[in-house]
Structure 1
Amino acid sequence: MARSYRWPQPLKDQPQRFWFGGDYNPDQWPEEVWDEDIRLMQQAKVNVVSLGIFSWSNIQPSEFRWNFGWLDRIIDKLGRAGIAVDLANATASPPLWLTNKHPEILWRDERGDIVWPGARQHWRPTSPIMRHYALELSRAMAEHYKDNPYVVAWHVSNEYGCHNLYDYSDDAQEAFRAWCKRKYGTIEHVNDAWGTNFWSQRMTDFDQIILPRFIGEGNFTNPGKLLDFKRFSSDALKDFYIAERDALAQITPDIPLTTNFMVSAFGVDIDYDDWSSEVDFLSNDHYFTPGDAMLDEMAYSASLCDGFARKHPWWLMENSTAAVNWRPINYRKQPGQLERDAMVHVAMGADAVCYFQWRQSKAGAEKYHSAMVSHAGEHSQNFKDVCKLGSDLQTLADAGVLGTTLQRARVAVLFDRQSQFASEHTATPTQQVRHAYEPVQWFRALLDLGVTADMVPPTLEWEEYEAVVVPSMMMIDQAMADRLRAYAEAGGKVLVTYASGIVDEHDHVWLGGYPGAIRDLVGVRIEEFAPMGNDFDGTPESLQLSNGAVAHDWADVITSVEPDTQVLATYVDKPWTGMDGVPALTVHEFGQGKAAYIGCRLGREGLVRSLPAVCEALGFELPELADTGSDGQLAIATDGGTQRSSNVADNRLLITKRVAKDGKSFTFVFNRVFEPVSVATDGHVVISNNCEIQGSNLELAPNGFAVIAQ
């Protein structure tokens, strides 16, 4: 059963505000710095900090010795200054006294090598010994702070699976066998699910189940086993989290709990849709992608968090004020991006903005990671920007943005971690294709066409959307196939891409031609795939479409279409390749609705070129793009439409809307390009940045945004 949604409440006699602050590590600094920190926090309007995340060794210096004194002192100082605490149970990084005494808690890689302490997350999720010590610490923390008025939330561990997602220890093997027994009941059912008649892998007892450990360079692990191992690994961490969560909740039932997810376009390694029902409120750590995808990827990831959170307010637990420290090249942020980036998450439903970290470390592996207070101190542009953000968040709260809901978009783009699990196997038609690549390309392409989509997990009720995109969802089970058919029969518009509907939930191929799970829905039959690449001289790197788009990496060889399937584009190629004239883009009527099939990887540019014709054939109206000339200013009216037309958009802008129960709404408008963009509105500008306001006209500079009350 899903936990009830609970949001951390403000300290006594304080109003509801956006939570604003960051990870605070006072144990890394002399106590004389603490008062200076609190002064600066008050100046920046910080009202919450996360404490104790990596402080196990300072809270419990040895097995039978506890030291809460320093933590008590800083919590008291913070609380008396009006700053609440999101308190970690400190289990993320076991201390050396524990790993020295019990090296058997250390996780092992696929070759069986021990991963030694020296960084963080060097523990195995299935270790009974690690669980014993972690729960002992959790209970001690809960007992000590159960009546502390300044603790408003529990921060359970930290970024589960960031380093220890896949463990190949004997503990993990024993737990995996038990997981398989619970899931399948009999070893025969495991054999059927894993297809073990292949390569003589059939088992007669659960004790014969082994982890997908190293089997030699160039060899291939059983895909069914690997799929279940990835599911098990997510579940093993979730079980550990639940044990910690319940240990805290039993003693402090009134304090809401969360753990910080790591959702980004390229970093969703855990089944967070499954995890989302186990937290009281969702929180996420997100770090920007450098380059021209920065804004779009941020919006994509934040929208996915909104989907996981079921449109409840969620918490941006970590982001960065400027550079991170863990990339080969750690790019800075441009002027205006600190606040712009925070507001993108707010625009997508976040009611809290926090950073790693409050004060930039002077020692350790993260000393070059940016912070709210940088090495340059308070007399810096960075801290001025932090202070402005704190003030603007307070202004948004006063205006009524807090607690509003992100308005549902017209289009849902599905993101499916199970399909990503399946597509990660090393024996697929091409290693250049993974499920995670495609959704972000669709999100960006739709933005280019003036449509802001919602990123949605398949378990959500996406049937309420006007159109749904099924992007490279390799794994579609019978239930999902039935949902898609029912949706189309009722009048829905479905857009299905290549590499979708190929296998079922066990990674078994649907027979009879691809995409076997939904072949009748899309009205095409595929006999084989035509991957593309340049790893051999003379191999095809791309395919031209008759509409001028270019396919790369993957194309489907569509051998037949239903009589009522409309072919919108074909491939143009040499006659002897077998691809010339093969359908590439189709639309098929199904019940009261229609289904489009995009049989190749087009990328963002190819989708932008192709989708207008596809959407027209589907009956899905794309907005008219505003003229970007001197007289083409987009006008945002208080009714949510525009002054020229109710169906006009500017693809240079990212626009979202948060709506209150009383109907009041707030439109967030962001400049997506590196040139000024003009907007006219008869609404009230609540806050803005890098924006020149002249009457009802707004000129958004690069990295500029405005929030308009309507």
Structure 2
Amino acid sequence: MGARRQYRWPQPLEGQKARVWYGGDYNPDQWPEEVWDEDIRLMNQAGVNFVSVGIFSWAKIEPSEGVFDFDWLDRIIDKLGKAGIAVDLASATASPPLWLTQSHPEVLWKDYRGDVCWPGARQHWRPTSPVFRRYALALCRAMAEHYKDNPYVVAWHVGNEYGCHNRFDYSDDAMHAFQDWCKKRYKTIEAVNDAWGTAFWAQHMNDFSEIIPPRFIGDGNFMNPGKLLDFKRFSSDALKAFYKAERDVLEEITPSRPLTTNFMVSETGTTLDYDDWGDEVDFVSNDHYFSPGEAHFDGIAYTASLTDGIARKDPWCLMENSTSAVNWRPINFRKEPGQLVRDALAHLAMGADAICFFQWRQSKAGAEKFHSAMLPHAGEDSQVYRDVCELGADLNKLADEGLLGTRLVKSKVAVVFDYQSQWATEHTATPTQKVHHVTEPFAWFRALADHGVTADVVPVRSNWDEYDAVVLPSLYLIDEATARRVREYVAQGGKLLVSSYTGIADEKDHIWLGGYPGAIRDVVGVRSEEFVPLAKDDGTLDHIDLSNGAVAYDLADCITSVADTAKVLATFKADPVTGMDGRPAITINEYGDGKAVYVAGLLGRWGLSKSLPEVLGELGVDTSSEEDCGDVLRVERADESDENHFVFLFNRTREDAVVDVEGEPVVSSLVHLTMSEHSAVIKPNGVLVVKL
């Protein structure tokens, strides 16, 4: 585990007290200056105290090579600061200006077929280009020198959503950088050959110069999985190296100013290894956009918990979310009444001390003109803006009550997430294309929430072995060190829950031999000889029932032996012809002083929820005894002394939820308090915050 940078948080402007940072991306260069004063009036009215400026302003800051125009930026920063609004200043490198790409088209990234990504959108640059790095760092240096003494700039916003559009580059610059990366990682070409299994299909390499990126190999062919996994690792590292170069220039000139960049952690997003990147920022920032549908709220809670895990429970910044609809889906659903406030408070509950949106004023032109904003096209007289003002007042109220200085209270259960396991399961030659790591942690989080357990979602590199119970959900890659941690954790009394497709391969994506789950087969006490893919087709199984009423979809294990120390809790029920009838589906094994449960199929949220009462009971994990405990998600924040202890209660359902009120209500939305205030009705999309 690498060393993390010292945590540093943006400090309030001189003369102001610390508040929850509140605001969003501000693009004054999209508007005539006569709009700026109106923006600031409305920001003050809404309680905005923090805006990110200059993210896509390179062409305006440096209109021609080496000629810088800071005058307009100086004026708006001065106006904001004097109005009490702090600035998170961007390095402005996210999208290069046309004069640069026309003079140096070699900075443009190429796709796997060799086609050039031409200017016209954003992030049309390759992170391994020495030419682009020279220009970008010159801009960073000019920005830092000009604003090093500006009292209104409280943080650096380095780049923007690295890898959102330029995650993979297959150019010659990338090829040479990939070769160097492999040299550093493996030292010898023989070690690369071993890692990639190049004895298969005559792919043996004699020298590092023979390493090429996973470029186009023909439709329907299979890329070497070891190379593909390493190229994803390299691509994350290449972008990280570019970020660090920007960060270090800014820090050299402004050493007292904290630096961050906005991640894209989500319930489905695995663009970069954000836990690895978390080592390199002074405070973690994340952009999150809701997934429409019945999983809307759970997706926000899950993602915010994972972001808190990446931040190691230090306060973090929600750098972007949406007030309502986005613009980049085929159908862009609006948020329902109450969801703007509730969604923001969910991130706050999970450890964010900054709540920001994209963007302040909704654009009237350009690619994101239909993306919602804090000030919509409808203007000040709109429900969205009124909700923005309500949220600003709520955040100030919570700060007055002592929320700042509290942290997300540690759960009794950890759900482990691993970016690299997801990358490995994305390969096209696997038992089934319907199974990936990324979906299983979310299913477990939701199922646990159904039983009143708000789990912490934590990266595999974190201290997950300090929790009472740990879930390894389809953790496909388990190296020797992680397998050793698993054994020590359970042997010392830990309670482990493991689902199918866990511990299949090591860090090279080499299969653990001897039967599945090879890496930790002794811990779970079962041995599977084959995977049983499940899908609708003529004469095949599309699901398998379990004896406890749950149903397995997509994948099951054909378990052929169970240890003497293990007990079968549920079996599969299927046509005897399939060879699956009566085979173990859920088992529990005693290992040292602990126990390990193995779920031999992917049951989804509902199947897991049906199975958890017995499973958690066997493990001795306490859950709420109330039948409707899963209707409300309970999240707690407290300081070390427990002097300030807040409970956030969110309605997860489409019906009214009645809750007992333990403390003093502080903030509420779509909530009806009874006359005695000892109970409350939380309506759908509602939230209640009480202070104990």
TM-score bin, normalised by smaller chain = over 0.9
Report how many residues are paired.
Answer: 687
For 1:619 and 1:36, locate their aligned partners in 2 and report how far apart those are by CA, in whole Å: 59
Counterpart pick for 2:672 among 692, 701, 704: 692
Q: Corresponding residue for 1:2?
A: 4
Q: Deviations over 1:473-528 (max 9, x none)?
A: 01000100010110001100000110000100100001111111001000001111
- Displacement of 1:615 in angstroms is 1.6
Asked if the contact 1:491/1:594 (under 8 Å) is kept, the reply is yes
1:577 aligns with 2:583: no
Aligned residue for 1:653? 632
Deviations along 1:432-485, whole A, 9 cap, x unmatched? 000001000000011111110000011111122110000000100010001011
Q: Distance in 2 between matches of 1:573 and 1:622?
A: 32
Q: Which amino acid aligns with 1:531?
A: P
- Out of 520, 525, 528, the position equivalent to 1:526 is 528
> Are the equivalent residues in 1 in contact too, given 2:662–2:690 (CA < 8 A)?
no
Structure 2: which amino acid aligns with 1:126? T
Shift of 1:538: 2.3
State how 1:296-311 maps to structure 2 within 5 Å. 296-311=298-313
Corresponding residue number in structure 2 for 1:287: 289
2-structure distance, mates of 1:451, 1:418:
27
CA distance in 2, matches of 1:675, 1:43: 33
What secondary structure sits across from 1:555 in the alignment? strand
* 1:633 aligned partner: none
In the TM superposition, what whole-angstrom CA distance separates every residue of 1:119-144 from its partner, at most 9, and x where no partner exists?
00000010001100000000000000
Q: Distance in 2 between matches of 1:692 and 1:575?
A: 55
Q: Which residue of 2 aligns with 1:154?
A: 156
Cα offset for 1:547? Answer: 1.2
Alpha-carbon deviation of 1:48?
0.8
Aligned partner of 1:594 in structure 2 is: 595
Q: Is the CA contact 2:476–2:502 (under 8 Å) kept in the aligned structure 1?
A: yes
Is the CA contact 2:521–2:527 (under 8 Å) kept in the aligned structure 1?
yes
AA matched with 1:189:
A
**Cα distance in 1, alignment partners of residues 119 and 568 from structure 2:** 58
Which secondary structure does the structure 1 equivalent of 2:166 belong to?
coil
Q: How many angstroms does 1:573 deviate by?
A: 1.1
Q: Give the corresponding residue for 2:32.
A: 30
Give 3-state SS (helix, strand or coil) of 1:530's partner: strand
Instruction: Report if aligned partners of 2:270, 2:422 keep a CA contact under 8 Å in 1.
Output: no
Give the structure 1 partner of residue 111 of structure 2: 109
Q: Given the alignment, which residue of 125, 129, 146 partners 1:127?
A: 129
Please give the residue correspondences for 1:619-658 in structure 2 after superposition, counting only pairs within 5 Å: 619-626=620-627, 628=628, 650-658=629-637
Pairwise CA distance, 1:77: 0.4
Q: Which residue of 1 aligns with 2:396?
A: 394
Checking the alignment, whether the CA contact within 8 Å between 1:463 and 1:487 is kept in structure 2 is yes
Q: Within 5 A, what are the aligned runs for 1:190-269?
A: 190-269=192-271
- Residue identity matched to 1:156: V
Cα distance in 2 for partners of 1:298, 1:559 equals 39
CA distances 1:25-84 after superposition (whole Å, capped 9, x unpaired): 000000000000000001001001100000000000010311100000000000011100
Amino acid at match of 1:26: P
**Per-residue CA distance 1:590-624 (angstroms, 9 max, x = gap):** 00000000010100110011111112222222221
Matched residue SS, 1:192? helix
- Matched to 2:683, the amino acid is A
Contact kept, 8 Å, 2:183 with 2:208, in 1: the verdict is: yes
**What is the correspondence of 1:399-478 to structure 2 with a 5 Å cutoff?**
399-478=401-480
**Structure 2: runs of 5+ lacking an equivalent:** none
Counterpart code for 2:631? R
Is 2:690 the counterpart of 1:708?
Answer: yes
User: Is residue 605 of structure 1 aligned with residue 587 of structure 2?
Assistant: no
Amino acid at match of 2:565: D
Cα separation, 2, equivalents of 1:20 and 1:318: 11
Provide the C-alpha distance between the structure 2 equivalents of 1:621 and 1:564, rounded to a whole number of angstroms.
23
Tell me the equivalent position of 1:55: 57
- 2:353 alignment partner, SS class: strand
How far apart are residue 576 of structure 1 and its match?
1.3
Matches of 2:94 and 2:271, distance apart in 1: 18
> TM-score by structure 1 length?
0.96
TM-score (ref. length: structure 2): 0.99
Secondary structure at the residue paired with 2:630? Answer: coil
Mean Cα deviation higher: 275-284 or 458-467: 458-467
Cα deviation for residue 540 of structure 1 reads: 1.2
RMSD, matched Cα: 0.8
Q: 2:279 & 2:665 partners in 1: Cα distance?
A: 36
SS of the residue 2:533 aligns to: coil
Deviating more after overlay: 540-549 vs 491-500: 540-549
Q: Give the structure 1 partner of residue 658 of structure 2.
A: 678
What is residue 561 of structure 2 aligned with on the other side? 560
Closer, same or farther in 2 for the Cα pair 1:687/1:94, shift >3 Å? same
Percent identity between matched residues is 65
Given that 2:287 and 2:320 are in contact with CA atoms closer than 8 Å, whether structure 1 keeps it comes out as yes
Report the alpha carbon displacement of residue 661 of structure 1 after superposing the two structures with TM: 2.1
Distance of 1:78 and 1:11 partners within structure 2: 11
The 2-side partners of 1:491 and 1:682 are apart by 33
CA distance in 2, matches of 1:203, 1:46: 58
C-alpha distance in 2 between matches for 1:690 and 1:623 = 25
Once the two structures are TM-superposed, the CA of residue 682 in structure 1 deviates from its matched residue by: 3.9
**Aligned residue identity for 1:617:** E
For 1:545, the equivalent position in structure 2 comes to 546
Once the two structures are TM-superposed, the CA of residue 708 in structure 1 deviates from its matched residue by: 0.5
Quick check: 1:19–1:353 contact (8 Å CA) kept in 2?
yes
Alpha-carbon separation, structure 2, partners of 1:193 and 1:259: 32
Contact map agreement 1:351 1:403 (CA 8 A) in 2: no
SS in 1 for 2:518: coil
**1:659 partner letter:** A
In the alignment, the residues of structure 1 paired with residue 405 and residue 215 of structure 2 have an alpha-carbon distance, to the nearest angstrom, of: 47
The 3-state SS of whatever aligns with 1:289 is coil
Equivalents in 2 of 1:515, 1:320: separation in Å? Answer: 41
- Which blocks of at least 5 consecutive residues in structure 1 are unaligned? 629-649
Q: In the aligned structure 2, how far is the partner of 1:178 from the partner of 1:14?
A: 49
Specify which of 78, 86, 100 is matched with residue 98 of structure 1.
100
Q: Supply the AA of the counterpart residue of 2:549.
A: G
SS of the equivalent of 2:572 reads: strand
Residue of structure 2 equivalent to 1:644: none
Look up the equivalent residue of 1:652 and give its one-letter code: D
CA contact (8 A) 1:588 1:595 kept: yes
Counterpart-to-counterpart distance in 2, 1:550 and 1:64? 64
State whether structure 2 residue 646 is matched by structure 1 residue 669.
no
Give the whole-Å Cα distance in 1 for the aligned partners of 2:514 and 2:322. Answer: 50
* Residues 394-427 of structure 1: CA deviation (Å, up to 9, x unaligned): 0000000012010000100000011111111110
Return the letter of the residue paired with 2:575: K
Q: How does 1:173-192 map to 2 (within 5 A)?
A: 173-192=175-194
Paired with 1:474 and 1:32, the residues of 2 have a C-alpha distance of 56
Q: Displacement of 1:284 after TM fit?
A: 0.3
2:555 alignment partner, SS class: coil
Q: Secondary structure at 1:227's aligned position in 2?
A: helix
SS at match of 2:470: strand
Q: Distance in 2 between matches of 1:93 and 1:370?
A: 22
Aligned-pair CA distance for 1:676: 1.0
Q: Which amino acid aligns with 1:700?
A: I
